[in-house]
Amino acid sequence: MKFVDEAKIYIKAGHGGPGCVSFRREKFIPRGGPDGGDGGKGGDVIFHATESHHTLLDLKYKQHQIAKNGGHGSGNHRTGKSAEDLEVAVPVGTIIKNYETGEVMADLSEKGQTFIAAHGGIGGKGNAHFTTSTHQTPRFAQDGMEGEEFTLKLELKLLADVGILGFPNAGKSTFISRVSAAKPKIADYPFTTLTPHLGVVKFSDSKSFVIADIPGLICGAHDGLGMGIKFLKHIERTSVLLHILDISMEPNTNAWSNFTTINKELEHYNPELLERPQIVALNKIDLPYVRENAKKEVALFKKKGIILHLFSAVTGEGVKEILSRIVKKLN
């Protein structure tokens, strides 16, 4: 399935049905008065958050969502049929914005949450409403009100407890595949992860938590370099950030530099992200060069007041300690 986390769509609620111009016509009842009924209400456009959808792909292919109009009023005071509302299913975590102004109209962050994005028009009144003592045969009725219409921008922000950060090829995908059932693409070249992946982790007797593998960031991601800018928004929903560092290859041979570079990208994108609890871990200690230099890196981070965890996503060494740390941060 293609992962789509943004969509531009046009929505239009239904118009109210027009009122009816009608006069009572019955045998033995001369000069029957007006009996035109009201028009029916137009359908609303309602967004509904559901766990059965995971991307906005459907709305990429159906960008016009138009509700039906209300029915016409008719004689004998009969009201026109109100149109059914148009319900649009979106994934949990979808933000609805006015495309023109950028205003956030709704944040559907909970399962079952709904939002009426466009209200249908009210039906027009039939001529029976306009009878007066001086005007007993009105030959006019109201048109129905027009339904609201908007151009919207939808953004999906994944809901996860933990977001994994790191440069390309740091081992994020290998880590999430080891601790959960997620199966992201893993290879020995940068940017193998082209879409975020979610995994559910069950650790010991603690409650399970959701972890997200965010595609690799690079310096300048907040300005649009690489692919990070497309996925930085998914980090905003997470409670804990896990930095995975890699010093096994050039130029990523300085763990502290890697760590500060990524934090600068977070700060430029959204300074509030730096207030989230962070766990820092050095991967690939199964490699002799990394294990040899790990003590020096641990000592440097300790001077900065940060605990640097050592682990290998390939062999599993140190992974349990990291998961235990995550659980403590989440509780």
pLDDT digits (tens, 9 = 90+) for 91-127: 888 999 999 999 999 999 899 999 999 999 999 999 9
Contact by Cβ (8 Å): 13, 120:
yes
Q: In which band, very low, low, confident or very high, does the pLDDT at 11 lie, cut at 50, 70 and 90?
A: very high
Domains and CATH numbers, the chain: 6-156 (2.70.210.12), 162-330 (3.40.50.300)
Tell me the average pLDDT across 192-199: 61
Q: Quick check: 217 pLDDT over 70?
A: no
89 pLDDT above the threshold of 60: yes
Q: What is the mean pLDDT of residues 213-227?
A: 53
Q: Give the phi and the psi of residue 300 in degrees, each rounded to 5.
A: -65, -45
With a cut of 60, say whether residue 38 has pLDDT above it: yes
The answer to whether the CB of 165 falls within 8 A of the CB of 33 is no
Identify the residue with better confidence: 145 or 234.
Answer: 145
pLDDT of 218 over the 90 cut: no
Q: Look at residue 191 and tell me whether its pLDDT is greater than 70.
A: no
Is pLDDT of 238 > 80? Answer: yes
3-state SS, one letter per residue, for 76-128: CCECCCCCCCEEEEEECCEEEEECCCCCEEEEECCCCCEEEEECCCCCCCCHH
SS in 3 state form for 58-76? HHHHCCEEECCCCCCCECC
Query: Please, what is the angle between helix 255-269 and helix 228-235, to 10°?
Result: 80
Q: Are 158 and 93 in contact (CB under 8 A)?
A: yes
Give 254's strand partners. Answer: none
* Position 173, amino acid: S
How confident is the model at residue 242, as a pLDDT? 94
- Region 312-323: mean pLDDT is 93
Task: Tell me the average pLDDT across 223-231.
Answer: 50
pLDDT over 50 (residue 52): yes
pLDDT tier for residue 24 given thresholds of 50, 70 and 90: confident
Average pLDDT, stretch 42-54?
92
pLDDT at position 29 over 90: no
73 within 8 A of 38, measured Cβ to Cβ:
yes
Task: Determine the 3-state secondary structure of 165 from DSSP.
Answer: strand
Structure token pair of residue 173? 């995908």
Half-sphere exposure for 126 (CA within 13 Å, toward CB): 24
- What separation in angstroms does the CA of 190 have from each of 164, 203, 256? 16, 30, 20
Residue 7 pairs with which residues in a beta bridge?
A: 154
- Output the average pLDDT for the chain: 85
**281-305 per-position pLDDT tens digit:** 999 999 998 999 999 999 999 999 9
Cis previous bond, 190, omega within 30: no
More confident residue, 148 or 29: 148
Query: What pLDDT band is residue 251 in, cutting at 50, 70 and 90?
Result: low
Least confident span in 50-54, 195-199, 235-239:
195-199
Q: What is the mean pLDDT of residues 263-278?
A: 88
pLDDT score recorded for residue 266: 85
Q: What was the pLDDT predicted at 228?
A: 47
From CA 38, how far away is CA 128, in angstroms rounded?
A: 9
Instruction: Give one word for 75, left, alpha or beta, with left for phi > 0 and alpha for psi -120 to 50.
Output: beta
Give the pLDDT score at 250: 66
Residues 6 or more apart whose Cβ sits within 8 Å of residue 218: 167, 168, 225, 226, 228
pTM, rounded to two decimals: 0.69
In the predicted model, what is the mean pLDDT of residues 315-325? 93
**Residues of the chain above pLDDT 90, percent:** 53
Helix (H, G, I), strand (E, B) or coil at 272: helix
Question: What's the whole-number mean pLDDT along residues 22-35?
Answer: 79
